[in-house]
Structure 1
Amino acid sequence: MIPQGTADIYGLVIIGNSGVGKSFLGNIILGKQYFKHDFAARSVTHQTESITCQLGDKYYRIYNIPGLIEGDEERIALNRREVSRAFEEQKEHSLVVIYVFGHQNGRIRNEDIVTFRAIYNAYTFNPDSLIIIVNGLPPDRPSTYDTDTQATLIGLLGIQPGRICFIDRLKLGGPQQIDVRTYLIDIILNVRPQVHTKTNDINLMIDTVPQLEAELNNLRIEMENERHEHEGVIANMEREYEVTQRLLVLRRLFCQAKANLRRLESFREQQEYLIHMLGQWEAEEIAYADEPSSDHYIVAGTNKQDAEEQLAKNLATEDQIDVALNVGRRDIEQICYELGQIYGGKLDREYYILFDNMRFDSTIIDVKHSFLNDLYEFTCCRFGGIE
């Protein structure tokens, strides 16, 4: 019973071809068995059925409309009139359109697209008030199915509906129906009902269906070709990104290696100086050994101790640098291997530039460390002989 003074009753029109589950979904939304539905070879709904109910804080008149495409022209003509009658009854009111798609082994059926286009061309559904449902799907479908099919539907329909929903195949009276009902009501309440005015006749006759389906097949082929093309472009972009990232890492590793080799050269120069000074401080300490309280003996001992401590620190740091250089060399080899997997030998020149820039760098050319020799050996094995 609808309370008196209700401001508005929205329309909720459920459209789709025979057998896609319109009546079943209508009953789920209502929460009771009102619309007749059955598993049958021919359509069950022959006339538009409607009932008013409350969903949330709003009232809706729900219309269950016969499928448009049938096996004979007379039936199609009757169904066209039933579709028009439902919209005519609601022409003064805002309504929500639910279009239900079936599927054939997961593939959206051409006949459903043909029917949608015919009705859309007559009423031009506002995307904000349009809900698309792909019904009766296997629960164990591939994880990418919903996303891929949504993109396909948008391409075939030529519009972006307010919502596209994917409903699993349900058993009559099964526990999932409660969850599906909550889900559908939430979607209905969150789209924006609009007034739909008829601007054209529903132009669909039985002899035009094969032609329209042929056009759809051509459109599918074009979309598939575009998809492959886009996937190729995306794959190339991803590959270029991976290569760029690895090249940046490779350059950073070479820069770090050069910096560490320079530090080694600096430490070894400092080491020679410290060893030389240690000899002087030891000699002075010996010279003043008979005067242990003299300033000369004390300063010599203090300076000798400082030099020994600094020398020990430098040696410890050299060990750390040695480890870093060995790790860096292995990382360089790994990056080269990964680049070879992606691009074959096309990036050899990039590596040669970095390697030659290092081995001919005058600031590290005299550094005695296995890093350059080991990397040279790797380069000869991985890239062939070098000059």
Structure 2
Amino acid sequence: RAFEEQKEHPLVVIYVFGHQNGRIRNEDIVTFQAIHNAYTLSPDSLIIIVNGLPPDRPNTYNKKTRAALIDLLGMKLDQICYIDHLNSVDIHQEDVRKYLIDTILNVHPRIHIKTNNINLMSDDIFELKDDLDILKIQINNERYEHEDVIGSMEREYEAVQRLSVLRRLFCQGKADLYRLKSFREQERHLISVIGQWEAEEIAYADDHSSDHYILAVTNKQDAQEQLTKNFAIQCQINVALNVCQKDIEQICFELEQIYDGRFDRGYEPIREYYVLLDNLRFDPTVIDVQHDFISNLCAFTCRRYGNID
């Protein structure tokens, strides 16, 4: 009737959907589609209201209902208002009124020209409702399939992120082992140098003012200072290796959780973990480093996941 009375004037269309326990009613969908078929409603002049909702509805309700309405109505929906159930003394009535006014001001009135008759014969309604039920089932099935795919993709994304961290940790562990090897070689050299200068110091101990004695004492002290720094750096590297080992173990636990408690080589990230471990334990540049980093990782892997060979 409103369309007929105002057919030469632009209108904003407000369509109110009811619900049954949160589910959009089929008859409302059917009626909307009949009107839309007759007047071809435009999204930028249309406001959808889902009315009388329980205030304590789930946080995801609005988002899921929006997706369902877009699927069921088969059109883009710019403005959807979700209105809580109100009583005559509800203090939020003014808030709802302002909310609706703001929404109306954000759409564009348009002239709606009738192109088809609105046909809502009872037989057609029942047929449309049956079709709608089938469509809902199809949409739900597709949504579940998509959720499974999305869940699988999210799992793989998380696994790839963990794998990236694993690569970095193994690279860091190898670099620290190589540094430890270098500092231990330097340690042996410094101990040898200290011994040589100590021998020189003893040889010229009778004349503390001689150049040989002073040079021996000075060089011995310099070497001892370097050795002290060397020990400190080795301690730092040892701590870093222990932390790195624990971080790798933690990533393994997280991968295990991502794959539902399975640390199976059938999964690419798990398979690469074993490759990274083998590459490290057979690397000739660090294989002879005296440190528990590699042996502890091997023991952890064998103890938790079985033989690594």
- TM-score, normalised via structure 1 length: 0.76
User: Does residue 151 of the first structure (1) align with residue 73 of the second (2)?
Assistant: no
Q: By how many angstroms is 1:296 displaced?
A: 2.0
Regions of 4+ moved over 3 Å: none
Q: How does 1:194-213 map to 2 (within 5 A)?
A: 194-213=110-129
Q: Aligned partners of 2:96 and 2:256: how far apart in 1?
A: 51
Q: CA RMSD in A?
A: 1.2
1:259-305 deviation per Cα after TM superposition (whole angstroms, max 9, x unaligned): 11101110110001000000111111122223323322222222111
Question: Which residue of 221, 225, 231 corresponds with 2:141?
Answer: 225
The more displaced of 329-338 and 249-258 is 329-338
Aligned runs of 1:16-95 on 2, under 5 Å? 83=1, 86-95=2-11
Higher-Rg member (1/2) = 1
- Secondary structure of 1:99's counterpart equals strand
Q: 2: distance between equivalents of 1:223 and 1:382?
A: 43
**Aligned residue among 269, 273, 278 for 1:356:** 278
Shift of 1:377: 1.3
The equivalences for 1:171-190 within 5 A come to: 171-190=87-106
* Equivalent residue runs for 1:274-293 within 5 Å: 274-293=190-209
- Mean Cα displacement is larger for which, 125-134 or 335-344? 335-344
Partner amino acid, structure 1, of 2:62: D
Structure 2: unaligned runs, 5 residues or longer: none
Higher relative contact order (CA 8 A, sep 6+): 2
* Aligned counterpart for 2:298 among listed residues 361, 376, 386: 376
- 1:314 Cα deviation after fit: 1.0
Q: Secondary structure at the match of 2:205?
A: coil
TM-superposed CA distance for 1:169, in Å, is 0.3
- Provide the residue aligned with 2:257 in structure 1: 341
Which residue pairs with 1:252 in the alignment? 168
Say whether 1:117 aligns with 2:40.
no
Distance in 2 of aligned mates of 1:301 and 1:194 = 98
* Offset at residue 119 of structure 1 (A): 0.6
Shift of 1:229: 1.0
Residues 206-232 of structure 1, C-alpha deviation per residue, up to 9 Å, x if partnerless?
221110000000110110011011101
| Other structure's SS at 1:290 match | coil
Distance 2:167 2:210 in 1: 56
Taking the aligned partners of 1:195 and 1:362, their CA distance within structure 2 comes to 80
The Cα of 1:383 is off from its aligned counterpart by 2.7
Distance 1:246 1:91 in 2: 62
Give, in angstroms, the shift of residue 102 of structure 1. 0.3
TM-superposition CA deviations, 1:138-174 (whole Å, max 9, x none) = 0011111111001000110111123001000011242
SS in 2 for 1:93: coil
CA distance in 2, matches of 1:300, 1:253: 44
Please tell me the residue identity of whatever aligns with 1:307: A
Q: Distance in 2 between matches of 1:292 and 1:92?
A: 115
- Give, as a single letter, the amino acid of the residue that structure 2 aligns with 1:196: H
Tell me the CA shift for residue 370 of structure 1.
1.4
1:194 and 1:135 map into 2 onto residues whose CA distance is 24
Distance 1:111 1:244 in 2: 47
SS of the equivalent of 2:67 reads: helix
Which of residues 182, 207, 214 is equivalent to 2:130?
214
CA distance, structure 2, for counterparts of residue 307 and residue 103 of structure 1: 84
- 3-state SS of the aligned residue for 2:136? helix
